[in-house]
Amino acid sequence: MIKFIRKKLYSDNVWSRIAMLICIFCFAFFGVTIISYYLLPKGFLSNQSNMKDFETSTSLLVCTLQIFFFNMISVLCILVASIFSRKKGEIYVSSGYYCFVLFVIINAITLGTGSFSEVVVDVALFERIISMFHITKHAGLVEMLGQVLIACSLANKSLVMTDGKQTTTRKLKEINYTKTEIAVFAFGLIIMFLGALIESNTIIKMS
């Protein structure tokens, strides 16, 4: 099973990578959300929120740009992590995937424990999960889809590869990108911007 998953995650076909990572995302995100809802205290990550002191503009465009560039921190983390990979079996596993899954787990715990703000609202688990699909109001799924596309477009582009004993490096010019991979990366950024637009519109309406 593990070999099958790795094979799909590092397929030459970027769409196979995307399909498999979406499956992993759904399993990890909703699984951790449910577990954290029942096992962790409410507001578990409230004091750790990077957005609690983040003041946004009342202008839709400016607010969108603020949120978009803030969210680019996660993209930068995935991009930097994707430089490195470690050999597992016959495949070099990109650290970018691990970075993405870490963000998924943090977001899932935030949702499961209601840690969006210091004031925790008691909402039933089913309502919390269903609310994520109201993508005109909640940008979480949209933004994470953008991260999926970006992570998958960079999955086999590592510059530093190790098997634990020997490390091999490649130059940037040795990396080949297909037109599809470039398009997927660009579309991922567009989706991230769309998510920022949705989020900023919700914030402005609530203020």
Residues with Cβ within 8 Å of residue 174, at least 6 apart in sequence:
none
Q: Which long-range contacts (CB under 8 A, 24 or more apart) does 166-169 make?
A: none
At 65-86, the pLDDT tens digits run 999 999 999 999 999 999 999 8
Between 179-206 and 14-39, two packed helices, what is the crossing angle to 10 degrees?
A: 30
Q: How confident is the model at residue 146 (pLDDT cuts 50, 70, 90)?
A: very high
Residue 37 phi, psi dihedral angles, 5° rounding: -60, -40
Query: Residue 118 above 60 pLDDT?
Result: no
Dist CA 38 CA 12 (whole Å): 40
Query: Residue 207 above 90 pLDDT?
Result: no
Predicted confidence at residue 1, as pLDDT, reads 76
Over residues 120-132, the mean pLDDT reads: 81
Q: How confident is the model at residue 87 (pLDDT cuts 50, 70, 90)?
A: confident
Over residues 170-195, the mean pLDDT reads: 92
Predicted confidence at residue 49, as pLDDT, reads 55
Over residues 104-117, the mean pLDDT reads: 86
Residue with tokens 């809802």: 37
DSSP collapsed to 3 states, 10-35: CCCCHHHHHHHHHHHHHHHHHHHHHH
